[in-house]
Amino acid sequence: MKILVGIKRVVDYNVRVRVLPDGSGVDIDGVKMSINPFDEIALEEALRIKEAGKAAEVIVISCGTDECQQQLRTALAMGADRAIQVKTGSALQPLSTAQALLRVIEREQPGLVILGKQAIDDDNSQTGQMLAALWNRPQATFASKLVFEGEKLTVTREVDAGLETIEVDLPAVVTVDLRLNEPRFVKLPDIMKAKRKPLDVIPLEELGASLASNLDITRYAAPPLRQKGIRVENAAQLVQELKNRGLL
C-alpha cells in the first residue's frame, strides 16, 4: 500500500507574523518557513505505519513554487520515499488544492491519504473534506489515533464532546490532530541522504486543476491590541465593572 501525505510551506509557528504596511499580505522577507505542523504530524504517522509493515511507500506532495522543495526535502529526510511538487506560482484555495491532489491520486493510486487537519496560515480546514468528496472515498477528520484492521481503518476523532471512534473502508482520507503523535527530529545523515531521493515536478496546468476562486482576500490586518486589565478588590466591584461595560 502507498500512503500519500500532503504538506504545505508556511511561516514557522515560532515566528511572530507581521502584516505588510499596505495590508496586502504577510511579510515573509527573511522569515523562517517550515512544514505546516499538522502536516508534519501526518507525515510522522505515515512513516510509523510504514515502519510497522502496513505500507510499502510514503509519498509527500506539496503545491507551490520551487521554494517548497526545501520542505519536501525535509520530509524526505524524515523518511519519506518520494516527493512530488505540483508547481504553481499562484496561491491555491482549498478546492484547487484538492483538485490537484485528486489528479495525483489518480496517478499514484494510494491506499491512504493523510493530511493535517488545517494549515496554520489560513486555518481553513477544508482541503481534506473536499478531497474526500471529489475522490468519492470515506473520510475521517481530526484523528488522534489510527488502528488498521484488515481493509478497514479505525479512527479515534477529537470532537467537541470528547472522543468519537469510527471505522472507514480503505482507500480513505484522514486529517490529523495535534495529539496523534510527536514528529521525529531530522538527523544530518538523513538530510544528506534526502538529496539523492527522487523529487518529481509536475506543472499544475498538466494536472488540469482549476485556479478559479470563490474567495477574494482584499486586505490583511493584525489583531487589535488587548486593553490592559484592571484589578478589583471584591466580587461586588467585579459585578459593577461588568455592568459598566455592558457585559451584565
DSSP-assigned letters across all residues of 103-148? HHHHHH--SEEEEES--TTT----HHHHHHHHHT--EEEEEEEEEE
Lowest mean pLDDT among 48-57, 75-84, 210-219: 210-219
pLDDT at residue 18 is higher than 90? no
**H/E element, 3:** strand 2-6
pLDDT at residue 127 in the model: 93
For 64, left (φ over 0), alpha (ψ -120 to 50), or beta? left
Bond before 223 cis per omega within 30 degrees: no
The model's pTM is: 0.85
pLDDT at residue 36 is higher than 90? yes
- State how far the Cα of 188 lies from the Cα of 210, in Å rounded to an integer: 39
Domain range list for the chain: 2-244
- State how far the Cα of 146 lies from the Cα of 156, in Å rounded to an integer: 7
Indicate the CATH number of 2-244 among 3.50.50.60, 3.20.20.105, 3.40.50.620, 3.10.20.30.
Answer: 3.40.50.620
- Work out the average pLDDT over 160-179: 92
Instruction: State the angle between helix axes of 127-135 and 94-108 in degrees (0 to 180), rounded to the nearest 10.
Output: 50
SS3 190: helix
pLDDT at residue 183 in the model: 94
Cell of 91: 496561491
What residues are paired with 34 via a beta bridge? 10
Q: Which has more confidence, 243 or 211?
A: 243
pLDDT at residue 147 in the model: 93
- Work out the average pLDDT over 192-215: 86
For residue range 78-129, what is the model confidence (pLDDT) as tens digits?
999 999 999 998 888 899 899 999 999 999 999 999 999 999 988 889 999 9
Q: How confident is the model at residue 20 (pLDDT cuts 50, 70, 90)?
A: confident
